[in-house]
Structure 1
Amino acid sequence: MGTQSVVDRFTERDWASGTDGTVRFALVGLGWWTVDVVIPAIEQSTHCETTALVSSSQEKADRLADRHDVDAAITYDDFHDGAATDTYDAVYVGTPNAYHLEYVETAADLGKAVLCEKPLEATVERSERLVEAAEAADIPLMTAYRMQTEPAVRRAKELIEDGFIGEPTHVYGNNTQPILEMNPDPDQWRLDPDVTGYGTSVMDLGIYPINTARFLLERDPVSVSARMDSSHEAFENVPDQTATYTITLEGDLPLVCTTSQHAQQDTQLKIIGTEGTIELAPAFHGEATLHLSSGSLRATVEDTDYGAVEEMREEFDYFADRVLSGESIRPDGRHGLADMRTIRAIHEAAERDEPVTI
């Protein structure tokens, strides 16, 4: 596959089944991501519609429902009680990590398909319960890895499969952001271990290079070594203000990652092979850009109009396409559970200061 083909087919929905129809969504958890990114993404989508908003505050749900012309506005308690179930077909769970389980369990009891944000839950054990609840109810469950439907990532995967880089030899990933500049509250949930889970940087940011590398290379983690540090007072309750870890993927392929919630924003993923290199930079927070290198070839493939909203639009339409067609979901619950086991192993390796087998 040549680079011109990548450019020409950049936004192609190679996953589309051609099915028709609409999936109506109840959005659970009305934080900034849901309001500023998810709702606009659904408005842009082909197969999705927001028909219910679910919040801890009835006033907030009513206000946002009126703003976005949504029919149903209910509280969390109403949702658990089965209110407004005739208004939606699927549930998007966008609450903080430690609350995913209860809403997926209720959605499963109600027979509704679920698109659940990543990481899947706060711990491996709770993630297992979440996946088992969905499987017992036989409902579709997708872990919300938007990078798997991001066009730059899908084109990169095609190039790798076509042999553009030859045999992969090394993978490097980084994902950092200044969380205290984004939200100066030291009591925010991402710094609360009871809500975020094992930590903050790997759970929230490090999961991106882990999962995107798994998707691109179709290799799973085998073992991991890691170092972590938390020196700023706001991070005193979590172990990973910064984290560095090396994952050995299947085939003895090293994936070296750095991540921090207290650094300048920077995202990249670089895959080096025997014949070429593919790099995503920026990679994980909108406007993913491909940098290609092989022999004398140097090329950059980007679409600067393709931001976070468009990434989520593709994710929602992919999920709806699978629900409507009945075809299998690639990043399902078991896929998300595998990442949770890897994240737990990263934290164990850092705590024990020795490699951990996954």
Structure 2
Amino acid sequence: MDIHDALADFDRRDWQTETDLDPVRFAMVGLGWWTREEAIPAVADSELCETSVLVSSDAEKAEGVADETDADARALTYDDFHDGEATDDYDAVYVCTPNATHLEFAESAAEFGKAVLCEKPMEATAERARRMVEACEDEVPLMVAYRMQTEPAIRRARELVADGALGDPVLVHGHMSQRLLEMIPDPDQWRLDPDLAGPGASVTDLGIYPLNTARFVLDADPEAVSAFARSEDEAFDDVPDERATFQVRFDDGTLAACSASQHAHEGGHLKVVGTEGELTVEPAFMGGAFRGFALEVGETSADVEYERRDQMLEEFDYFAHQLRTGGEILPDGRHGLVDVEAIEAVYESAEEGSVVEV
């Protein structure tokens, strides 16, 4: 294999078949910093999407966001949304509220016949994630917002693994960390509240990135996990995983070692090691101006340097394109449910000190 040829046309949109499509109008549910600073600007840059409704806990906040972002959008409260107001003004719903509140908004969207793009993780528990699948399945499309799965570099990594470029995959190393309390200097924030975030902070919010990206690149699912977790800083008293490591056995035989921390130097990487070669994406998962993709096969190696793609724009455009063209929309709810089940197994393993089947 000529690995330089394998990396040609590196950043293509392999899913896009049409460009002249009516834009999908989104109701943005939950107006925290991620929606305001990442999602709404991405949609503003899109030719396939637009923001038409803003939904917050109070209408004044939604109106203020509309003014700040120049979004020509109608402002609703959560109660307004659940009551079915303005359903003629949007086609799909982007849910970006605390994890333990995703279900109620997805259920209302399904009731109104609106497609759902739900932030990861789907919900705080597997039981509630399962209810979301049941609410949407056979009713409306449900996509879980794993932006790595529409990142061109990660999609190319999946192609290379599937084509046997690395031989048989053997090992995966994945990591993501950040300094949460420097980003959001509030020890009472919802990400540190198990009632809103789920069973922890680092694995639920960050460890899910290497876990799910490994699943996507390998086209495999977790069978068993083992984990260690530790919390020392008082801000993390309510969660068990200020830092965590976990191992995964996938159903294709590949083994993965993953780590995550909400209280460590910001960084992330993904490496897939095969019998004939390895590929590395670093930095991975985080934003930034530069990204590197390296592929080694035998004695030959190649490095690709490529400009940052707006991952949220890729994600929204993919969802809108598939919705308008009637294409399959992945990752779907059943895919996302597997991650929530795996995350619960990670916390169980860390608490019990044993291997836990998924």
TM over 0.5, shorter chain: yes
TM-score (norm 2): 0.96
Contact 1:222-1:250 at 8 Å conserved across structures: yes
The runs of 4+ residues in structure 1 deviating greater than 6 Å are none
Match of 1:123 in 2: 125
Question: Aligned residue for 1:160?
Answer: 161
Q: Does 1:43 align with 2:32?
A: no
CA distance in 2, matches of 1:145, 1:10: 20
Measured after TM superposition, the shift of residue 24 of structure 1 is 0.5
Asked if the contact 2:110/2:135 (under 8 Å) is kept, the reply is yes
Give the gaps of 5 or more residues in structure 1. Answer: none
2:212 is aligned to 211
RMSD across aligned positions (CA): 1.4
Matches within 5 A, 1:1-358: 2-5=2-5, 7-18=7-18, 20-67=21-68, 68-135=70-137, 138-287=139-288, 288-306=291-309, 310-358=310-358
Return the alpha-carbon distance in structure 1 between the equivalents of residues 260 and 71 of structure 2.
Answer: 39
Gaps in structure 2 of 5+ consecutive residues:
none
Task: Give 3-state SS (helix, strand or coil) of 1:289's partner.
Answer: strand
Q: Percent identity?
A: 54
Retained in 2: the 8 A contact 1:165–1:294?
yes
Give me the whole-angstrom Cα distance separating, in 1, the residues matched to 2:208 and 2:13.
Answer: 24
Cα offsets for 1:245-284 (capped at 9, x unmatched): 1110113211111111110011011111111110111010
Report the TM-score, using the length of structure 1 for normalisation: 0.96
Letter of the 2:81 counterpart: F
Distance 1:53 1:161, change over 3 A: same
Task: Please say if residues 3 and 301 of structure 2, whose CA atoms lie closer than 8 Å, have aligned partners that are also in contact.
Answer: no
Letter in 2 for 1:304: E
CA shift digits 1:196-242 (9 cap, x unpaired): 00100000000001110100011110111111111111111101111
Contact 2:4-2:302 at 8 Å conserved across structures: no
CA contact (8 A) 2:54 2:62 kept: yes
Distance 1:331 1:250 in 2: 18
SS of the residue 1:302 aligns to: strand
Q: Contact 2:269–2:280 (CA<8 Å) still a contact in 1?
A: yes
Contact between 2:146 and 2:331, CA under 8 Å: does it hold in 1?
A: yes
SS at match of 2:15: coil
TM-aligned CA deviation for residue 193 of structure 1: 0.5
User: Structure 1, residues 266-312: CA drift from partner, whole Å, max 9, x if none?
Assistant: 10111111111101110101254311112222222232332xxx111
1:327-355 deviations in Å (ceiling 9; x for gaps) = 22120000000100000111111111010
C-alpha distance in 2 between matches for 1:105 and 1:294: 47
Q: Distance in 2 between matches of 1:332 and 1:70?
A: 30
